[in-house]
Chain A
Amino acid sequence: MRENRSQLSIIIACATVALFAALSPSARADDRKIVYVGIGGPTQEALRKALFEPFTKETGIQVVEDTGLGAERVQAEVQSGHPTIDVMTIGASAYSTLLAKDLLAPIDYKYYDPADLKSMPEGTTRQKFSVGSIFSSLGMAYSKKAFPDGGPQPASWADFWDVKKFPGKRTMPYCGVLEGSWPIAEAALMADGVSKDKLYPLDMDRAVKKLKELAPDVIWWKNTSQPGQYMASGEAVMDLDSVGRTNNLIKTGVPLQFVWNGANIFGDRWIVVKGAPHHDDVMRFLAFVAKPQIQADLAKLIGYAPSNPRAYDVLDKTEAMRLVTYPENVTQTWPTNPEWWSANVQKWTETCLNGLSG
């Protein structure tokens, strides 16, 4: 039995390299910085261009970006006793969850421009533990390849459900996949004739019944990369997606049209993690991103509406028209009810799963 020295030496070499790498100290920056955790992708790129880079340019404070799971990460970090992350944007239901578990730091508005303090009122846009970041909308979009101009085009949720008049597959998020914040229940109720101001409290059984009706023609998606992909490849002709993502797809050449009628309006919020390591610099950051010019730049890049109305003085009409807060658009939308969802998301998920998998 021969000994094979070369094998041994290879193993030793690998081990040495690996151990060396493992034990080398990670870079510790002494520069000022804040740590933002996001979802990556084109959205984060837009935030980087419109918010982070200008902020660094003006103040010299670096914005270090990380990605990962939202709520679980915040809880794990705060409960570890020495969190390493500072700031995130989150939706309303995640906000209620984090607030209830006492994981957020209060916001100090001392760096805000007084004019912005005035235009972003306390109690609504500005709250103790969060401040509004952007407004967006979730609604229906259809393929203009399948339904070109000049012919019949879907204009309501009833049309979304009408497979005879508008044939083809639809794609919608499956039950409970994203914390109940995607309005498949509300869409089903509106398609069934409920008017948008009489939605809450939601009649869950009625909604599930209506969803079951459409189910044979639905491709259910479970992660947000899917709806755009299915529309782009032609697998589906109508989807339920965000106006921001729809606008992105249109920009990259997919012929889609977002429908404002029946779309919702919701706000994302900035939150600061309790015990954030760069507390003071984060407050400077929040004041910076409230500025009208900054908010307008972001709106131009990503189609999310500003939370500071003063930004509209800087935006021109064509840009403003794409946004949910544009007067003609916002009157057709309906606001989500985060309180109802917080209390009922688990029950809805179970009812929906039961109904659709039966």
Chain B
Amino acid sequence: MRVRLQGTPWAQLLAAAPAVIFLTVIFGLPVLRVLALSLFDPGFTLEHYRRLIDVPIYRAVMLNTVGIAGEVALVCVLLAYPTAYMLATIRPRLAQILVLAVMVPFFTSALVRNYAWIFLLGSHGVVNSTLLALGIITEPLPLIFNRAGVLIGMVNVLLPYTILVLLSVMRGIRRDLLPAAQSLMASPFTAFRRVFLPLSLPGVGASFLLVFVLGLAFFITPAMLGGPHEVMIANIIGSVTTALNWGFAAALAAVLLAVSLLVIALTQVLFGGVGLLAGRSGTGLRTMRVRGSREGAMLSMIDRLLDPLWPHGFYVIGGVSLAFLVVPVLIMVPLSFSSAAFFVFPPPGWSLQWYAKYLTGAPWLEATWHSLEIGVLTTILALAAAVPASIAISRLPSRIGMTIYLWILAPLIMPSIIIAVAVFYVLGQLDLNYTVLGVALGHMILALPIATVVLTAALRNFDRNLERAATSLGAGPLRTIRRVTLPILATAVFTAGLFAFLQSFDELLIALFVSGINAGTLPKKMWESLQELDPTIAAVSTVLVTFSIAILGASLALQRLGKRRTTGTGELGAFALASDAPEEAR
């Protein structure tokens, strides 16, 4: 029997409206105007598309881009799954500390990180020097300025996204299902494979998609760590826009959009878990029938083989992944104390000059302050639109829900330079350029889709019976959401908010156009170092990493104190990421 919780679909559509309207006005229409230039430049012309097809290099670059993004996403998911599983199942206190390692790459500037990789992987770098000294190799390994270098560099920065999305989803899977399976004679690994794994697939699909889409847009890392075969679309578009050839740039962007939508559709088909489609049973829980006991002999053999490795094999991969995330920081910190005017590792001498330059220089501090302001504002606005939109998407009939979902995701697939120019134009009409609010609105275009991906993935496993129970006790729909739905989704909401903040904090191209002198952001200041290296960026990154770890650590400590004093389980901050789910969801 179907019991509808919230009246007609109009409530859902209304909930999704802010997100959809915002994106249409600030992103959709302006970007469509730019894309139209690929066909109307100014009169109707197919010249740009013809060039794209005729000149073989563009096809090759497109294939490279999709290939690299795909490989990076695959590696991220393979490494992140065991890591997230580990974080979801070990002792909460330990998990809370380890989650800090996941946060580290978020706050390091791309430029510093890439130079750190060169020092690590270069022919005279740490890895090669060590291996040569130990006699393991006789010639330096080519680990950089090629595909390997790009993969390592990109996985390092995208892995945290994958881990956190998977963690959000795993937190929502009921823990009592695994013991239940084992009580029915399944070995621990079989229980995992046949019960937990399928339930976590929405997370796998969502995290793969997110990383793939983010990876498509990379340009700094592939440029610095890659060779001639690692030129990505964003690099090409950059040189095309410098020549002000918007028609061709728009054609490149349009093709990229088409290819990405194809991949998204494929992911949807394979994993069914791009965050949609509540089960027909109406409870909102994806139910699946665990098939009868007779599976192939092959599968049973695999199970038997892997069982002794379980779960410690996962823990080993998890530990190695976390260590990998921290490695560039080990180079970056000494570099920030170097006395040299360029990056040399090991540093020839020590000095605090870069810290002095950062902490006493008004431009750097102002930029940091602007970035923080804009980041917080972006997060609030993005969550305000994404939370209702995600709830709506998870409840609307699948076709409408999917359409809204894809529309919300579209900004992630569009090259930033196109968005930046389009946004500059529309914000100019609203007279919001060069203001904090203007930049935040621009950033919201990218923050909103990321938050939505995280939230819809977590909502897949959300048990709507809990909401019905609340209603039966007299709670209205809004109250239910506030006191039942959101607290259980606390991890996902926190992750979504964190990603929204980081997207804004790290965003470069929109800021280069829209922020101006009055709202100049930190990435904009750091971008100058792409022209002439300023080692201050190493000090900035170190300060940011230290600061963010300190804040998260402090919130953990506060939560621990709070928990001791009360009997409830308040959830906030990193505690939400790593602690056990509240009683009801167990």
Min Cβ gap A302→B in Å is 11
| Residues in A whose Cβ lies below 8 Å from that of B55 | 350, 354
Given known pairs A235-B123, A357-B60, the reply for A26 and B434 (CB within 8 Å) is yes
| Residues in B whose Cβ lies below 8 Å from that of A226 | 224
Contact A68 B513 (CB under 8 A): yes
Contact B425 A357 (CB under 8 A): no
| Residues in A whose Cβ lies below 8 Å from that of B123 | 169, 235
Interface size counted on chain A using CB atoms at 8 A: 79
For the complex, give the distance between the alpha carbons of A2 and B572 in Å: 13
Min Cβ gap A244→B in Å is 10
Interface 0/1 of B531-556, CB less than 8 Å to A: 11110000000000000000000000
Contact B530 A73 (CB under 8 A): no
Contact B532 A245 (CB under 8 A): yes
Given known pairs A225-B530, A233-B342, the reply for A21 and B425 (CB within 8 Å) is no
Min Cβ gap B371→A in Å is 12
Query: Cβ of A229 < 8 Å from any Cβ of B?
Result: yes
Contact B528 A41 (CB under 8 A): yes
Contact B377 A18 (CB under 8 A): yes
Interface 0/1 of B508-523, CB less than 8 Å to A: 0000110011111000
Min Cβ gap A53→B in Å is 15
Interface 0/1 of A213-225, CB less than 8 Å to B: 0010001101111
For the complex, give the distance between the alpha carbons of A181 and B518 in Å: 32
Query: Cβ of B231 < 8 Å from any Cβ of A?
Result: yes
Contact B341 A252 (CB under 8 A): yes
Contact B440 A22 (CB under 8 A): yes
Given known pairs A2-B566, A26-B519, A66-B516, the reply for A39 and B341 (CB within 8 Å) is no
Query: Cβ of B295 < 8 Å from any Cβ of A?
Result: no
Min Cβ gap A11→B in Å is 8
Q: Interface stretch among A143-151, A172-180, A193-201, A321-329? A: A172-180
Contact A225 B373 (CB under 8 A): no
Given known pairs A2-B566, A22-B436, A253-B341, the reply for A223 and B512 (CB within 8 Å) is no
Q: Which of B115, B231, B524 contacts A67 (CB 8 A)?
A: B524
Query: Cβ of B314 < 8 Å from any Cβ of A?
Result: no
Contact A354 B56 (CB under 8 A): yes
Query: Cβ of B17 < 8 Å from any Cβ of A?
Result: no
Most B-side CB within 10 Å, residue of A6, A67, A220: A67
Interface 0/1 of B217-228, CB less than 8 Å to A: 000100110011
| Residues in B whose Cβ lies below 8 Å from that of A15 | 380
Q: Which of A14, A39, A72 contacts B531 (CB 8 A)?
A: A39
Q: Which of B342, B345, B519 contacts A228 (CB 8 A)?
A: B342
Min Cβ gap A285→B in Å is 17
For the complex, give the distance between the alpha carbons of A41 and B483 in Å: 52
Interface 0/1 of B230-245, CB less than 8 Å to A: 0100010001011111
Contact B417 A21 (CB under 8 A): no
| Residues in A whose Cβ lies below 8 Å from that of B282 | none
State the 8 A-B residue pairs at the shortest beta-carbon distance, nearest first. Answer: A40-B528, A41-B532, A2-B568, A222-B223, A252-B341, A225-B533, A22-B437, A357-B228
30 contacts between A and B (CB under 8 A): A3-B483, A15-B380, A17-B376, A18-B380, A40-B532, A41-B531, A41-B534, A44-B528, A66-B520, A68-B524, A69-B512, A72-B417, A75-B244, A76-B425, A80-B425, A97-B243, A174-B231, A179-B239, A220-B227, A223-B224, A224-B530, A225-B529, A228-B533, A229-B533, A232-B342, A232-B344, A233-B118, A253-B340, A254-B342, A350-B57
